[in-house]
Structure 1
Amino acid sequence: MNRLQNFLDLHTGEEDKQKVLENVKANISFRGSTVWILACAIVVASVGLNVNSTAVIIGAMLISPLMGPIVGAGFSLGIYDFELLKKAAKNLLIATLVSLLVSTVYFTLSPFKETQSELLARTSPNIYDILIAFFGGLVGVIAITRVEKGNPIPGVAIATALMPPLCTAGYGLAIGNWKYFLGALFLYTINCVFICISTFVIVKYLKYPVVQYVNPKYRKQIKYTITTIIVLLIVPSVYFAYALAQEKKYHEKVVVFLNEEFTEKGFAILYQKINYNKNPRSIELAFLNKKITKQEIQSLSSLLQKYHIENTQLIIKQDTTDIKKYILENSANEKAKENEKDLMILQLQNKLKANTYNNQALQEEIAILFPQVRQISLANHLFNENTDSTVTKTIAIYSSKKNLSSQEEEKLTLWLQKRVAGHPIVLYKEKGE
């Protein structure tokens, strides 16, 4: 038994408690560079969520400084340092408001407003998110209290995922979707609270010295408050997890129904849409080469009970116009994305074309008109006319067999001005000629 206790003893390899507390206190404050780092991390995470890039989101989580005040709150509760708790809570509130502001501004300005899968994943928290936050927090706090910090800290930052829910909440505010905003904010609250609680548990287990004596009655109040918060967060999370499991089961039953009654019998399903959140629920189908009578639809509808698909209406789309409409609706988002990308590419190509000159063609013409010019290159360049404005001019750099006279240079400039019909021409002779 003693061997097992020694094997699991967290006191082995523990850092000096005073030094750990100093480090925790140093990481609580959000001032100066920390605010800038947080704002930049929020922008990076928002971009990652916007373009559905998991790698970018992970990078943002690694540079986020949000863990500091949360761990500080857990430590302050564990040692009954209520001044430190106030400071941690204040800085966490500042960090949260800054994050929401930055992410809301980003998503308001972003031309891409589609709800990507990475965004949707942060709008419906459940019991699994609580487990991740609690055990991830345990790992983080254990690592903080070690002499050798090791590798867990970056992993904890990724696992507990404080940054993405805040960005998703900002996205919800930007598009005016309160469901997304509240769902993401609830996930962020879960992460903060359970990291804080896991910190409290480890601080108590390692017996950090209390800052001030608290009478047993007040200690009980703290425990009751923590228990109440845990229950208030766990109950809706369990409900969301149950709802998610039920929806998954429903979709699995529908897939079995479609496979056994249609696909395996050789009927190609051209279009399908499952409306789970409607009342009653509905399964909308359209077939490539099959016409279904009313009697067959009734027979298929009765088969739904066999597959335990309840409170569901089977809708078969057979009108050609309807089928086209639904297919177009189904592909509208993808088409919109493609069209938007094509438009951006076209705009960039036009901009590049407007600022690019066919120097080879110009060279061939100049060889006839100005035989003494060996080579010429043109490019646009911005000039500062004054502190308030800039102007674009075309720089023409030429090399020649012999020096051009002022009249010849003027003639070349006028010809180029007419030939390219663009910005004012500024002519330069290549050095070393």
Structure 2
Amino acid sequence: MQIVHATFESGEGGTAVEILLELGVDIEDYKLIQSQTGDLLIINLLYGHADKIIDKLKGQFDFSTNEDRSLIIFTPDTVIPRNKEKVEKSKSRASKETIVTYAKESAQLDSNFIVLAIAASIAAALGLIVNNIPVIVGSMIIAPVFGPIAAMAVGIVLGNWKLFRKGLGAEIVVVAIGIIIGYIFGAVIPDVSINPALRVRMFPTIADLLIAFAAGGAGAYSLIADVKSQPLVGVVIAAALIPVMAALGIGISMWNLSMVYGTSLLLFGNLFSLLLAIIVIFYSKGLKPQWWYESTAQEMIKKSLVFLIIAVIILTIPLSVITYRQMIKEKPTEIIRELYKEQFKDQLEARLVSINTNPNLKKTVLVLYVPAKTRKFLFDQLANRIKERLGADYRVIFEVIPTNIIQPSLSNLDK
């Protein structure tokens, strides 16, 4: 349920009431207070056609330039209704004006937006570099990334090019900030290596696109149902974007083409999936433009859906290849790597030269440095553990490079 406080010049309230009567609003759902200083109309938006009420009032009266008129829409915290059935029907979604206002305010490029974007990017970059998951999650909480995407989607659905461009501009700014800060920290901090936090974004999969699509749908649904609940889902949406932006900047600083390629795929894939999901939810939930923008909106929705669907399909091709490698081809290698670390207590893999695995032939070859006196049963144990995980018919071959420890005498060092 939402409530409208509309103020008019003295005597205009009667005309506004006539509009409500034409739309079938019950007399118990509005109150008109008239005075010499102006009229106040209070409307309980308990109907599915709440947007029509607001559009009719805005079409009849100029609220934007006339200082004697105003239109305030708010959601009460508690309602004790006389007609519970009406209130239940009114819970379908927030009014269009509420959603548009949220989109405009969230895509506003002001100092608050810039500061939050910088702070979130710093936290994301540092969290990725040191592989600190809580810090990365913290960056998602403060990142202002959902608002601009929502503004773009609202602009498309309502045929509002100005709002779309505003959201697009804000999103470009936050993406640029995330990449630049990631680059700076990647270049300044010495010995940055590819850790698990970076690796997972370096090799995106189809699952990442599905997660982004689900997050976009959840964010749009929460926004259109109740704007107050949006920040909770906004964290999930930020998870699909802000760490990826920072990872892309770090990849550029390392001149790692694989990371740049992978994170770029993930970033654009997530952006397109989020936007596609939000547009679909907004449109399916009945977010409609004012009638004079209807043809423009239909054209924008059609072109946007065609572009986004084609873009997602194109991005799916390389992501499918990476998914195959990650989940099918390289999965045995990851299992063997973890078992090796546990068996030889070599967490840094300093002695492991390579692992060559062929799932089709069910064969793996490990090349490693070990002390010359290493007992054979350690290799037998590792081979048995690998077979337990990958199958008894797996062939495990070790190519061992024996090493000797030499401790030079102090007298030789002095010379």
Using structure 1 for the length normalisation, give the TM-score.
0.59
Partner letter of residue 145 of structure 1?
A: I
- Residue 36 of structure 1 deviates from its aligned partner by 1.7
Question: Are residues 1:117 and 2:199 paired?
Answer: no
Q: Distance in 2 between matches of 1:123 and 1:32?
A: 32
Which residues of structure 2 form unaligned runs of 5+? 1-84, 344-349, 377-386, 407-415
| Counterpart residue number, 2:166 | 87
What displacement does 1:320 show? 2.5
Give the Cα–Cα distance (whole angstroms) in 2 for the partners of residues 55 and 10 of structure 1: 41
Partner Cα separation in structure 2 for residue 237 and residue 115 of structure 1: 20
- 2:317 pairs with 1:229: no
1:283 aligns with 2:366: yes
Shift of 1:181: 1.8
In structure 2, do the counterparts of structure 1 residues 131 and 90 end up closer, same or farther at CA, with 3 Å as the change threshold? same
Specify the alignment match of 1:154 in structure 2.
232
Opposite residue 185 of structure 1, the aligned amino acid is: S
Amino acid at match of 1:283: L
Larger of the two Rg values belongs to structure: 1
Aligned match of 1:196 in 249, 254, 275?
A: 275
- Which of the numbers 232, 245, 248 marks the counterpart of 1:166? 245
Shift of 1:319: 3.1
Q: Does structure 2 retain, via aligned residues, the 8 Å contact 1:24–1:68?
A: yes
Judged with a 3 Å threshold, the aligned counterparts in structure 2 of structure 1 residues 277 and 204 are, in CA distance, closer, same or farther, namely farther
Q: How does 1:21-170 map to 2 (within 5 A)?
A: 21-147=100-226, 149-150=228-229, 153-158=231-236, 160-161=238-239, 162-170=241-249
For residues 96 and 277 of structure 2, what CA distance do their matches in structure 1 show?
Answer: 17
Q: Distance in 2 between matches of 1:10 and 1:239?
A: 47
Q: Aligned to 2:226, what secondary structure does the other structure show?
A: coil
Aligned to 1:213: 295
Name the CA shift for 1:90/1:253 in 2 (closer, same or farther; >3 Å): closer
- The 1-side partners of 2:357 and 2:162 are apart by 47
Amino acid at match of 1:35: I
How far residue 237 of structure 1 moved from its aligned partner, in angstroms, is 2.0
Residues 310-389 of structure 1 correspond to what in structure 2 (within 5 A)?
Answer: 314-321=397-404
Shift of the alpha carbon at 1:306? 8.0
Question: Equivalent residue for 2:263?
Answer: 184
Classify the secondary structure of the residue corresponding to 1:241.
Answer: helix
Residue pairs, 1:262-273, within 5 angstroms:
272-273=352-353
Query: Retained in 2: the 8 A contact 1:45–1:56?
Result: yes
CA-to-aligned-CA distance 1:19-69 (integer Å, 9 cap, x gap): 111111211132322112211211111111122111111111100111111
Question: SS in structure 1 opposite 2:265?
Answer: helix
Q: Structure 2 counterpart of 1:23, which letter?
A: Y
Separation in 2, partners of 1:180, 1:18: 42
Aligned counterpart, 1:355: none
Which moved further from structure 2: 32-41 or 280-289? Answer: 280-289
Is the 1:108–1:175 contact (alpha carbons within 8 Å) kept by the matching residues of 2?
yes
Separation in 1, partners of 2:187, 2:105: 34
Structure 2 distance, partners of 1:10, 1:319, is 77
Residue 97 of structure 2 corresponds to 18
215 and 169 in structure 1: CA distance in 2 versus 1, 3 angstrom threshold: closer
Amino acid at match of 2:288: P
Q: Output the CA distance in 2 between the equivalents of 1:174 and 1:147.
A: 41
Q: Distance in 2 between matches of 1:114 and 1:68?
A: 33
Identity over aligned pairs, percent: 18
Q: Could you say which residue in structure 2 is the equivalent of 1:238?
A: 320
Higher relative contact order (CA 8 A, sep 6+): 2
Amino acid at match of 1:88: G
CA contact (8 A) 1:15 1:145 kept: yes
Q: Is the contact between residue 140 and residue 238 of structure 2 (CA under 8 Å) also seen in structure 1?
A: no
Amino acid at match of 1:239: V
Q: Deviations over 1:330-387 (max 9, x none)?
A: xxxxxxxxxxxxxxxxxxxxxxxxxxxxxxxxxxxxxxxxxxxxxxxxxxxxxxxxxx
Alignment size in residue pairs: 295
Shift of 1:96: 1.2
Cα deviation, 1:117-165, whole Å, max 9, x if unaligned, reads 2111111111111111111111111111223633x63354146511111
Residues in 1 aligned to 2:103 and 2:297: alpha-carbon distance in whole angstroms: 26
Distance 2:89 2:320 in 1: 31
Cα RMSD (Å): 3.9
- The residue number in structure 1 matching 2:59 is none
Aligned partner of residue 319 in structure 1, secondary structure: strand
**Higher mean Cα deviation, 85-94 or 46-55?**
85-94
Give 3-state SS (helix, strand or coil) of 2:366's partner.
strand
CA distance in structure 2 between the partners assigned to 1:153 and 1:61 by the alignment: 11
- Distance change (3 Å), C-alpha of 1:253 and 1:29: closer
- Secondary structure of the structure 1 residue equivalent to 2:228: coil
List per-residue Cα deviations over 1:63-88 (Å, max 9, x = no partner): 01111111211222222323322222
